[in-house]
Amino acid sequence: MADPRDKLNRREFLKQSAWVAGGLVVSAVGLPFLIESHAIEPKVGELLRPPGSIEEDEFIYACIKCGLCVQICPVHAIKLADVDEGLGYATPYINAREQACDFSCDSIQCAETCPTAALNFKIFRNASTKKAEELQPLVEKGELDPMESWRLQIHAMKEATRIGVAKVNDQTCLAYQGKGFKGTPRGKDFKGVLRYEKISERKPQPVREQYFDREICDLCVIHCPIGETAIKMVEKELPDGRKTKVPEVERGCTGCGTCEMICPTEPASIVVLPQKTYEEVYS
């Protein structure tokens, strides 16, 4: 061809191909070995994936690292992992302590936008349809306002999320010590936002602008976007005989991490265990 240096020589090709093939074979044998032995993925399996995420061993290839979920999240909760997260590079995760998903978007947009269904929207569509069918007779009879039915459908979608489960550390939790909380959780420099519907129905508000005065600290409970099916305050007697109330995680916990984000102690006294189920943690 035109440039004599630009070889299309058969022997050259076979020789170089052999090198490439050799390299690929080494990777094909070596990589599964490293993956199995967990030598190169210290953090995969410990990352909190966005709502709708499928099982981690499927997620790791179903996610094509496009970043559409990152883009659509109104509170910027979703980040892409860097290389130090092992082979999970550029897959999305949520650092709940910095910015949790509090379902501000209402429609679980990250899952809706995911083209490969690594974040599977079917879960949410099914939940919403099921709820709609359940409520339809009530709406027809005029016993339920259609707007209220719509709200319940959205709530059913949120409830269908299972990305982890919260766990309270009873050693450091303020409520377990019978203590209250007064002030702004996480301080004045904290950048996170959450939806406070009393202030604005749609727009998430900075946490640093909020002020709380609770007799017994129950910030995790009052911030939970799911409600008392996920976490509630229960009576508890302290070792010294005083009665107090402490947060208790229920089966409805979605693992969204809003509680972890708002917890005023440092480090957080309630944390989400990613990719775990309620049964795995509490039985």
Partner 1 sequence: MIGKKEKQPLPPKPKDQMPHVKLNMTYKEWMHRHEGRHTWRNRRWAFVIFINLLFVVSFTFDLAVLEGSLNGSRLIGFYLMDPYVSLELATISLRTHYWHNVTMNMIIGIITILTFYFLMGGRTFCSWVCPYHFIAEWAEKLHKYLVKKRKIKEHHFNRGLRYVFWVGFLILALVTKRLIFQEINPVGIVSRALIYGPGLILLWILALITFEIVYSQRFWCRYVCPIGTTWSIVGKLSPVTIKFEYEKCGHCRKCQDVCLVPHVLWFVVKGRATQAQHYVGSDCIKCGYCVDICPGDALNFSIKGLSKIV
List residues near partner 1 by CB under 8 A: 1-3, 5-9, 12-13, 16-17, 20-21, 24, 27-28, 31-32, 35, 54, 57-58, 60-62, 64-68, 70-72, 79-80, 82-84, 87, 89-90, 113-117, 120-121
DSSP secondary structure string for all residues of 181-237: EEE-TT-TT---EE--TTT-SSS-EEGGG--EEESS--HHHHH-SS-TTTEEEEEEE
CB of 94 to partner 1, least distance (A): 14
CB of 275 to partner 1, least distance (A): 17
Closer CB to partner 1, 72 or 139, in the complex: 72
CB of 68 to partner 1, least distance (A): 4
- CA-CA-CA-CA dihedral for 123, 149, 99, 221, to nearest 10: -110
Closest by CA to 245, choosing from 211, 221, 281, is 221
Closer CB to partner 1, 69 or 262, in the complex: 69
CB of 83 to partner 1, least distance (A): 5
Closer CB to partner 1, 126 or 265, in the complex: 126
CA–CA dist 53, 110 (Å, integer): 10
Closer CB to partner 1, 11 or 188, in the complex: 11
CA–CA dist 272, 258 (Å, integer): 9
Query: Cα dist. 91→42, 44, 67, 161, 261 in Å?
Result: 14, 10, 8, 19, 21
Closer CB to partner 1, 82 or 279, in the complex: 82
CB of 112 to partner 1, least distance (A): 9
Closest by CA to 185, choosing from 150, 219, 230, 231, is 219
Q: What angle do CA 156, 93, 195 make, to 5 degrees?
A: 50
CB of 80 to partner 1, least distance (A): 6
CB of 264 to partner 1, least distance (A): 29
Closer CB to partner 1, 90 or 154, in the complex: 90
Closest by CA to 209, choosing from 182, 181, 190, 228, is 190
Closer CB to partner 1, 120 or 269, in the complex: 120
115: cis peptide before it, omega within 30°?
Answer: no
CB of 54 to partner 1, least distance (A): 8
Closer CB to partner 1, 88 or 185, in the complex: 88
> Within the chain, how many helices (H) and strands (E) appear?
9, 10
Question: Count of residues for the chain?
Answer: 283
